[in-house]
Chains A and B, each alone.
Chain A
Amino acid sequence: MRNALGSVDTVLLLGGRSEIGLAIVERLVRRGARRVVLAARGAATPGGAAPAAGDVLSTAVAQLERLGAEVHVLDFDAARPETHAALIEEAAAKVGDLDVVIPAFGVLGSQAVYDADPVAAARDVAVNFGGHVSIGLAAARRLREQGHGTLVVLSSVAGVRVRKANFVYGSAKAGLDGFAQGLADALHGSGARVVVVRPGFVIGRMTRGMTPAPMAVTAAEVADAVVEALDTRKGTVWVPARLRLAFAVMRLLPRPLWRRLPR
């Protein structure tokens, strides 16, 4: 259960290797969360083989355990929506009520590759949008039943106004952002809630080799903002906060100008 000062007991991270996701989980554990489920691709085979040493996942497990959490690892494939409802139930069976659910999986392919390979584009959209829809709905059903809990949706400013430089990724995020807002409204009054997070360019593993955009942030900064939002009743978080104002303006830019943006 969430306590009066925003500290939670259980956390489910989907995309158990995500930098932002793990940064959020680490902060929640430092503030008192004691039971964590990391759901990740290839985390555990039916035979029970644990992830190899040196894998981001096993490092994360060790670190969270050092901080005092009980950590469970579940195998999870964002591209297989038919498994998602069962996964949510399995996580709840391990740790009880889910206080915070964080779907943090996603792929950032280049627009040039997508232009050449429409199938790859569709596959990535299925993960970045479709996977979040099936996980989000399954999680929402569970949170509604519990009468409490928070779903953290990692949207992006890329979806606030889609740019030609990455419009496949951006359109998936635009879909996700709309989904999250609709879900937040649907859950209003249910005891459960949704926090929509809109980071700008996040410097990290996912964007390695790319030149950071203006107002770039780190995974740690995103995580700090998310944890702060969990304390309050905020429904939308921009990271950094000034992106909110920047995008209020950018949304109004005329199309001819917008399409000339270099990136």
Chain B
Amino acid sequence: MNKGVAVTGMGIISAIGNNIEENYRSLLASNSGIGCSEFLKTTHTNIPVAEIKIANETLSKHLNLSKNHSFTRAALLGSLAAKEAIEQAGIKIDDETGFISGTSVGGMDATENHFKEFVAGKADNKRFIRSQHPGFTTEKMAEYFGITGFVSTISTACSSGANAIMLGARMIKAGKLKRVIVGGTDCLTKFTLNGFNALMILSNNPCRAFDEHRNGLNLGEGAAYLVLEAEDILNGKPVLGRLKGYGNANDAFHQTASSENGEGAYLAMQEAIKSAGITPGEIDYINAHGTATKNNDLSESRAIQRIFEAGIPDFSSTKAFTGHSLAAAGALEAVYSLLSLSKQEIYPNLNFSQAMPETGLKPVTEVKQKKLNLVLSNSFGFGGNCTSLIFAKDEA
């Protein structure tokens, strides 16, 4: 019997709160984190973003870092979230503790700030030269927690965090690790804001996932991590939930756009359901990718319709709370899925009013109490990378 891999700790920082408790309160109160950028120095001040309203200096103080540290913003956010997860799980870091982090642009914030200096040959901030590469951000975090064993970074754009969680579970199942910290982190950067803006998929208003009049996503930032532990070391420790299934597939359709029938999403969900050893009808709720772009939401809706032929489960996208935090999205939403399971409630899809005519699907739009045993969480990214995770309530 597939019990699933135990989650014993979780931590989060997002535009709707600096820890699990604050995030939970915001979800319950429908408080969105989308607003104007204050810390991201961009000329696009009219584009709404979901920013964490804390300066790097303050974040560094929270972590007691020395003055000349080389933590990128993604490493700062990541360390705070991982710290909460590690403390909750009460684990001791040892040789058999791994760390797998997803990040899309890593320390691009430092690169874009110092790029001109480096081009001019100025070496004052040379400690940030390697920070551009995602592995550097992960390594800084590993250093902070004293993790010396298996450390790796996954970068599959917006499905990175979900893939990191999947890999961690696979390593525990294969007996390669006893415990592993998994999740993702990404901060707001000019690089990504301008990239998505040039692609014309950013909305000028708070995003409206799955709505007929949805017109794009809001970029966000954040980090979330889970602690996964092997069965034989649990010793009666409280289990927050279990990762029961996962699926990874490629849409193989276009570098950035999703296929019309959502083939990659369909295959990822199908594989996740198969690996969990369940039937589609047993899924009680879907935390959808739901970015609120025309393309994603239609493609994902079609894939959901194909998988859940016998009846569509309750679903919602929480992107209108946190914005789309890229690599962190899958990790943030894993935390929300686990919160849904432990509180037995579904958090709403904000700003929805009218179903798209192609599918007629309506998400959950208000906090809903419901018996939940199995939650499916979707994350899809550029490069056709699609990943679905299935979390289960612990049956202890």
Please determine whether chains A and B interact with each other in the same assembly.
no
Binding site for B on A (CB under 8 A): none
